[in-house]
Structure 1
């Protein structure tokens, strides 16, 4: 019978291997591969069965469990080569490389095995990340903006549920006469038990109107990436339009899973990038042509610099507020100290807005996503 020290060494080695595997999954998420918690757990179990000391076994265990499609394979190969030093996975590795962990976590698996210097580096990085979360997107460097876009791509936005008119089988609820009768006929006329039904629940629809005019140029790309995160989470309950001098539906372009590809398609679809702003006319066209605003949460992302008639915008906002469940206006300038909504467009729209929020930073987008989950 093995002694307690040997069992303790085995448990420690297993914990180190698990920390290495989960660190590799975090590296993949940073590269855009959807290696979520369930896939990571499947990877750890598969590597345990196949043998964590065998590089080929670890490679194929990760490839079959962490990758969601063919587009992930090139990124997976690059990350595997960089993380495991080319070809070999070493069970004695106690923690992911600092360059990988620093980008992601302040407190994750295997934190107790890290050296004090590494823990200090992680704490400093977590503090820097928190500062970056609240920094204005328009004042960021290209590298910082890229990091914010990567974090937005991992955003998981929950959605408020609503009761549908359709019914589904349920243990409790109203009597379902059709299913009860079919069950009775299958049993030769004897009623075994009464079947019941209840209304289904569906995510509430969210409609985003993103201003892509010249005054919104520093924020438009980040707002569209936030819209991509919402579409990715609920593709059937999200609609996205760009407004400027023309109204353009972008939902189909944003349904691509890869954020970079989706943004390329969006750029090709929008004909009025950095143009003027005619919010009143575009909102009227939206309400005349599309019926998706009824009962939905409508989010308008704009600074309110209306070049058309502000009274038309006020009329259409009143019309929208009667149709939608709630109207949320996102203005990037609201996050700045001392901001006051003095433009004609904002003054015409605000009486019909249910919530007026900022949209200038990653923290503001996270707060908006949380608001949509309870709208």
Structure 2
């Protein structure tokens, strides 16, 4: 139909076509926007929101508002931010991410923003041999540079979170206490110890007055996790860190350290009630995140100052790609020192299994003769083999 001036009215002839909109993507983007404004929202909270909204009336604004608020907010001062963004979310308006903020600035409630910073492995190193200060060597592997930047952890998909939960459950079962091969004397239980009875009754003329007993001593498996958080490992560490967090929620037999140019114990931080809170705590204590790599120095720190975590029932998971600026001889010496005191040492390499990859770095060549397993940790599928290594 045409107007009086001869032009066609587009609104009168246009067919009404349904507008398709992916609400899951809209909700995920809403969570990402809230996180960019300083709210501590992890993949677990995002998955919880998906499940919660499937149980409420999506057309009821009040129910959706309070469901999201109960799951996504942890502090009172986050309410104004949430209210303003929820209004745009409910009206399907554009939700822009917050512009980049310097990581040294405090966000809402003093939390630090976990943003990707330039990888230290791709930054110029000081090279004394370069006369021109504008031309410096660019290292693409290991770096000796220390840094004080917070971690950047990418979001895991919902199916990966489900897989990690199942792997964590299998690891917890593998760490259950079970009878060991050694036998220990017990006052009432166990089989008679005839050899011990002869020794104890020699003073009584050899008569079996006292009959001692022995039972199999319980074996309590423990897990020591060493995570390389240097610049070259930044995009790989989040997978295993999420898995170890899930395990730590159900057992206290796990000790966790993160290292680059120095090592930091983060066992207490991983006991937080949520993964997002654990990340915030780790970001406050591990200021060397995304720095250089000194694997031998980190192992020496654990061997010397945390020797309580090393015994014959301990399995060590060391996650690293092998890029190291330290001395290979020191790394070899510290790996041997640790191996003599623990049950098993497993080197988890995220590069193993990639096309044309070979472990040819000097650090790996020095360490491989002294480790029990060199396993891949490049994806969730490769982590499914970890529970078997705990037995």
TM-score range with shorter-chain normalisation? Answer: 0.5 to 0.7
Deviations 1:327-370 (A, max 9, x none): 10000000212211001111111000100000011111121133
Answer yes or no: is the 8 Å Cα contact 2:230–2:293 preserved in 1. Answer: yes
* 1:82 pairs with 2:54: yes
Q: 2:282 aligns with which of 263, 266, 291?
A: 266
Answer yes or no: is the 8 Å Cα contact 2:293–2:324 preserved in 1. Answer: yes
Deviations 1:285-327 (A, max 9, x none): 1101112122111111101111111111011111111111111
Task: Give the Cα separation in 1 of the matches to 2:298 and 2:50.
Answer: 45
Shift of 1:371: 2.2
Shift of 1:278: 0.4
Specify the SS of the correspondent of 1:348.
helix
Task: Give the Cα separation in 1 of the matches to 2:163 and 2:358.
Answer: 30
* 1:220 pairs with 2:232: no
- Evaluate the alpha carbon distance shift between residue 209 and residue 363 of structure 1 in structure 2; reply closer, same or farther with a 3 A threshold: same
- Evaluate the alpha carbon distance shift between residue 149 and residue 77 of structure 1 in structure 2; reply closer, same or farther with a 3 A threshold: closer
- Evaluate the alpha carbon distance shift between residue 263 and residue 152 of structure 1 in structure 2; reply closer, same or farther with a 3 A threshold: farther
Shift of 1:259: 2.2
Task: Give the Cα separation in 2 of the matches to 1:168 and 1:78.
Answer: 53
Partner of 1:285: 301
Task: Give the Cα separation in 1 of the matches to 2:279 and 2:330.
Answer: 31
Q: 1:335 aligns with which of 353, 378, 381?
A: 353
Task: Give the Cα separation in 2 of the matches to 1:244 and 1:143.
Answer: 22
Answer yes or no: is the 8 Å Cα contact 1:310–1:348 preserved in 2. Answer: yes
Task: Give the Cα separation in 1 of the matches to 2:369 and 2:318.
Answer: 14
Q: 1:242 aligns with which of 258, 262, 282?
A: 258
Q: 2:387 aligns with which of 346, 369, 372?
A: 369
Q: 1:210 aligns with which of 214, 217, 227?
A: 227
Partner of 2:17: none
Q: Provide structure 1 residue ranges, at least 5 long, that are not aligned to the other structure.
A: 1-71, 89-140, 177-193
| TM score, norm. by length of structure 1 | 0.54
- Evaluate the alpha carbon distance shift between residue 322 and residue 197 of structure 1 in structure 2; reply closer, same or farther with a 3 A threshold: closer
- Evaluate the alpha carbon distance shift between residue 349 and residue 252 of structure 1 in structure 2; reply closer, same or farther with a 3 A threshold: same
Shift of 1:202: 4.6
* 1:159 pairs with 2:177: no
Answer yes or no: is the 8 Å Cα contact 1:168–1:200 preserved in 2. Answer: no
Task: Give the Cα separation in 1 of the matches to 2:269 and 2:356.
Answer: 37
The structure whose residues are more often helix, as a share, is 1
Answer yes or no: is the 8 Å Cα contact 2:184–2:214 preserved in 1. Answer: no
Q: 1:323 aligns with which of 310, 320, 341?
A: 341
Instruction: Give matches, 1:68-217, under 5 Å.
Output: 79=51, 82-85=54-57, 145=157, 147-149=159-161, 151-153=163-165, 155-156=168-169, 157=171, 158-160=173-175, 161-163=177-179, 173-174=190-191, 198-199=215-216, 201-217=218-234
Shift of 1:228: 1.2
Task: Give the Cα separation in 2 of the matches to 1:228 and 1:324.
Answer: 22
Partner of 1:360: 378
- RMSD of aligned alpha carbons: 3.7
Number of corresponding residues: 231
- Evaluate the alpha carbon distance shift between residue 79 and residue 166 of structure 1 in structure 2; reply closer, same or farther with a 3 A threshold: farther
Specify the SS of the correspondent of 2:238.
helix
Task: Give the Cα separation in 2 of the matches to 1:329 and 1:348.
Answer: 13
Specify the SS of the correspondent of 2:330.
helix
Task: Give the Cα separation in 1 of the matches to 2:257 and 2:357.
Answer: 27
Task: Give the Cα separation in 2 of the matches to 1:232 and 1:175.
Answer: 40
Partner of 2:269: 253
